[in-house]
Chains A and B, each alone.
Chain A
Amino acid sequence: MNNSLHRGRFAARQVLDRCANALISAGGVGVILSVVMILVFLLHEVAPLLSAPSLTEQGTSAVPASDSTLLVAEDIGSVGLAFSESGEARFFDLSRDRALLTRSLLYADASVTAATRAALPWGAAALGTEAGELLLVRPEFETTVTQGRRELRPSVRPIVPLLQLAPAGDALLRVALTETDSELAVAAESASGRLYFASWQLDENGLAGSANRVLSLPPGEDPGSSGLLFVDARHRFLVRVTFQGNYTVHDLAPVNNAMPVPRLTSGSLFEAGEQLTAAAVLFGSASFVVASDRGALLQLSPTLQDSGELSLQTLRRFSVPGKAVHHLAADPGSRLFAAVFDDGAIGLFHSTSQRQGWATTGLATDEITASSISNGGGQLLLQDAQGGVTRFSIQAPHADVSARSLFAAVQYEGYRAPIFKWQPATAGATYEAKLSLSPLLWGTLKAAFFTMLFAIPLALSAAIFTGYFMASSMRRKVKPGIELMEAMPTVVLGFLAALWFAPWLDEHLAEALLACLLLPVAVAVSGVLWGLLGNVLRPYVVSGWEPLLLLPVFAGTAALAVFAADLLEQWYLGMSLKDYIYQRWGLDYAQRNALVVGVAMGLAVVPTVFSIAEDALYSVPKQLSDGSLALGASRWQTLRNVVLPTASPGIFSALMIGLGRAVGETMIVVMAAGNTPLMDSNLFSGMRTLSATIALEAPEVALGSSHYRVLIVAALLLFLLTFILNSAAELLRQRLRRRYRAL
């Protein structure tokens, strides 16, 4: 042969080989790279959740009101408002030590003896006077942009005219203020110890007319010396806590014939000698925190117990290093609050997640007279007796999320005990987001469990029958048939499951369950019958197609199930099976439940599991099963002792891949699982899975919010779950394969 031609061809082939090599490597590396990039992106999006809340000192400025009783700061903390004891509202520029506007809210020589503000951004403020009057005002900062410069025009608007709440001369020593979208309520304690309550309806301008209700309650212990007054957002409870830690909870429900006297309960929060040092109402006015000189820091909420009794529930105790708390300031826009400790340390706490962040400062805490967090939550202001305001910027974008809040049971406001709950948002602005991934993880595993419970017996017995027993002529038709089911879009399966199967099952639960019980029995019985009558029947059946004889058996069993279900419900139970299940075991029946999901998702998983497991069984070397048969083993013995163990790597990976699919499957659970984030193992209740949650909520979530990042955590979790499942499958498979490698 021509030598040069030979070489030329060789060179061309080498180039081709290299190209193919490069292409394949590029593909492989590309796949790995993109998976890694996805992982990196997910981790990058999750990372901000990890940073603890932090404080940095920004400097001190002088404020023109050293006698201020209440500080309010605008959202980015550049304009502050101080209410003075003489009843003046003084706006000042925080960064430039400059007074902006001073307005007198009261008459000359008035004296403010109590002041507070609602735990809301832009909440109203209440001032109580020495003369027993109440003033409700709303601080406002109107922003105008003129010639590219942002200008703030602060103002203070009265909400109601000055109100004589206590008899003239009975000073109001403490006030509480609770505001919601449409209502405003005030509680006040006068020097004589009487408690006053008044509530108003707010119009769309945030103004109120005359009071809806005014209550006056008799004095409690230590009249006129309460450390905290609290009215909850629903105006149901009035709580008073004295400096000794003794509390009373009043039920404010309208007094009527059924409930002739206002009820109250009382108790003590602290040990003897322990003193209340600070208190703050948390965002949403559902709970408040109190601190003691011995370092106790408690979140409390008044509740009605199941028995109808009033109580003050301790939602949680924050673990703090046992130092006395000097001041508490709650963020008006989130459940974050700052605690200033005796030694100058400042702690940031989030009530829901129990996240903490710490800063040490050289502040003389004895000097601090007022504290406040700005409306946007960005700044902590501490005022000292000399009139200086020290500002700290707060970085706590995701303080509401912690490992604990994601995975452990959380004591939310308004619940009796810690629970696992996923409910990221509702319409209410003050809603306490419930971001527990546990119910989603549970739902995912529950769905996968019932899916596999349905799919494994079906897929494996089909695989065993097709791969080991079936005539090859029939196998050639059956196998592609089952595999074709895999092409069915899961959205169609989910649609059918939700709109056809779930309602059908709802009506025919007894029939369906009985059929599930009877079918295996019927198949076994027909197997026995075939053993007895096979020789008689065989001439009438095409060899290899005997399984078709089961079709009438199935039909007969279904008919029997319908009949038996009727008997069962009518004569034996005397009620529908659903009612019986509810009465006997207390299990609720949801139309879209784990059973529906198990069946629908099972059908989606069966073809995958079947196909891989069948391949594994079919490719067990014939000589092995022949060897076993030649030793006198029956087909079943051969199957159990030789074929199944040898095919186990493949069967195992089939199960794992099926499980991975069940865990990650989305459309079916979105449609057929009901999407209620429950944490029970009830077959008849629904669930919400990680995948469904991501699919449902990701399109609407605010980018960068805690909710968004928690959804990314959910995605990461899903990714890890499937990754672990697949890796475990691969590892185990390789181990088993090494055992059988010489085949």
Chain B
Amino acid sequence: MSAELSLKPRHLLPAKANKRTGMNVSVDGLSLYYDRHTKALDDVSLRIKRQQVTAFIGPSGCGKSTLLRCFNRMNDQIEGCRIEGRIRMDKMDIYHPRVDVSLLRRRVGMVFQKPNPFPMSVYENVAYGLRIGGLRRRRELDEVVERSLRAAALWDEVKDRLNENALALSGGQQQRLVIARTIAVEPDVLLLDEPASSLDPISTLKIEELIYELKSRYTIIIVTHNMQQAARVSDMTAFMYQGRVIEFDTADRLFTNPKEKQTEDYITGRYG
């Protein structure tokens, strides 16, 4: 079941990129404890489909980021964090003991809320994941870097400054660079944690367009505080509250005709 993740490192060959279609993700009875007393997720179950954008919305502290971090097991870093339940990606249990976390993270890319480019050149930032994966040939690297930057709608802006330090880019450019860096390793699932929260409207728009373009090849999960954004970019939307998924439906239905009172209160701005 987990054989593919643990035993067969897939090489990130450019040829395969076009065949990528994402993975279906299913969450079953997932609970997460940061320590004995803090239960950050409470019995979460979701079915997330490939080639779709799924958005998590909810008030601050409701556990959106926590849930997102479960998909690439970033919570493993946190001391004392404990998980119950199961997450499967195309039937692979990602918490199976034999899963190679590095390989999992290669297939489940993540973009953080605050842009976090490495203090290296633009080029090296994008090539980082490939180099880590053992790709050394300069020509292939060049190719992937260019393709990823194009995909992230950044190529035209940085093609003349590939060797400049990435920290010299603007915040919006940095965030798109981070996206390029993430998609350079050709993941199946793309996790975006409030990717546009620190950006201006134009950069936000670019990122939204980007999400729309990438949709066909990935499973995209996005956390956002911006209801309009969720409505614009997502196919499915989950409303979370205090560690639980209150309502999970298509974006159209959830925003126009919520079934739950809490959802309605939230999207009409009565709290949060």
Contacts and interface: CB of A to CB of B under 8 A. Distances in A.
A473 interface: yes
A739 B128 contact: no
B226 to A, nearest CB: 21
Contact of B74 (A626, A637, A740): A626
B133 A632 contact: yes
Interface string B84-117: 0000000000000100001111100110101011
B185 interface: yes
A212 B109 CA distance: 101
Contact of B182 (A623, A626, A631): A631
Interface string A594-627: 0000000000000000000000000001011011
A558 interface: no
B193 to A, nearest CB: 10
Given A472-B79, A641-B132, A739-B165, A629 B119 contact: no
A301 B119 CA distance: 67
A632 B102 contact: yes
A1 interface: no
Nearest to A743: B119
Contact of A630 (B74, B97, B119, B165): B74
Nearest to B133: A632
Contacts of A627: 112, 116-118, 178
A543 B80 CA distance: 9
Given A473-B79, A743-B167, A630 B105 contact: yes
Interface string B147-180: 0000000000000000001011000000000100
A621 B119 CA distance: 11
Contacts of B128: 628, 631, 633, 641
A344 interface: no
B114 A623 contact: yes
A471 B78 CA distance: 10
A642 interface: yes
Contacts of A544: 79
Contacts of A472: 79
Given A632-B103, A743-B167, A623 B112 contact: yes
Nearest to A535: B97
Max chain A C-beta neighbours (<10 A), residue from B97, B116, B120, B129? B116
Nearest to B182: A631
B185 A632 contact: yes
A741 B167 contact: yes
Interface string A531-563: 000010000000110000000000000000000
Nearest to A472: B79
A470 to B, nearest CB: 10
B107 to A, nearest CB: 8
B82 to A, nearest CB: 11
B119 A740 contact: yes
B116 A624 contact: yes
Contacts of B106: 631-632
A645 B116 contact: no
B181 interface: yes
A646 interface: yes
A246 B41 CA distance: 105
B102 A634 contact: yes
A742 interface: yes
Max chain B C-beta neighbours (<10 A), residue from A630, A637, A641? A630
Nearest to B80: A543
Contacts of A471: 79
B72 interface: yes
Contacts of A740: 119, 167
Contacts of B117: 627
A633 B118 CA distance: 13
Contacts of B257: none
Contact of A633 (B102, B114, B168): B102
Contacts of A645: 119-120
B77 interface: yes
A472 B132 CA distance: 27
B129 A632 contact: yes
A518 to B, nearest CB: 32
B132 A630 contact: no
Nearest to A633: B132
Given A641-B128, A739-B165, A740-B119, A629 B109 contact: no
A629 B128 CA distance: 11
B102 A623 contact: no
Nearest to B131: A641
B105 A632 contact: yes
B6 to A, nearest CB: 14
Given A621-B116, A637-B132, A743-B167, A630 B110 contact: yes
Interface string A634-647: 10010001100110
Contacts of B182: 630-631
A112 B113 CA distance: 108
A400 to B, nearest CB: 56
A471 B104 CA distance: 24
A472 B105 CA distance: 24
A642 B112 CA distance: 17
Contacts of B102: 632-634
A637 B128 CA distance: 11
B119 A631 contact: no
B116 A629 contact: no
A642 B74 contact: no
A626 B116 contact: yes
Contacts of A628: 118, 128, 132
A160 B104 CA distance: 106
Given A473-B79, A623-B112, A740-B119, A631 B129 contact: yes
Contact of A646 (B103, B104, B119): B119
Interface in A226-249: none
A630 B118 contact: no
Contacts of A535: 97
Nearest to B132: A633
Max chain A C-beta neighbours (<10 A), residue from B77, B103, B119? B119
A626 B77 contact: yes
Interface string A714-743: 000000000000000000000000011111
Contacts of A626: 74, 77, 112, 116
A630 B114 contact: no
B103 to A, nearest CB: 7
Max chain B C-beta neighbours (<10 A), residue from A544, A621, A633, A637? A633
Contacts of B105: 629-632
A535 B118 CA distance: 34
Contacts of A741: 167
Nearest to B165: A739
8 contacts: A626-B74, A630-B105, A631-B132, A632-B106, A642-B118, A739-B119, A741-B167, A743-B119
Given A628-B118, A634-B102, A641-B132, 15 more contacts: A471-B79, A623-B112, A627-B112, A627-B117, A627-B118, A629-B74, A630-B72, A631-B105, A631-B106, A631-B128, A632-B105, A633-B132, A641-B118, A645-B120, A742-B167
Interface of B: 72, 74, 77, 79, 97, 102-106, 109-110, 112, 114, 116-120, 128-129, 132-133, 165, 167-168, 178, 181-182, 185
Query: 3 nearest interchain CB pairs?
Result: A632-B106, A742-B167, A631-B129
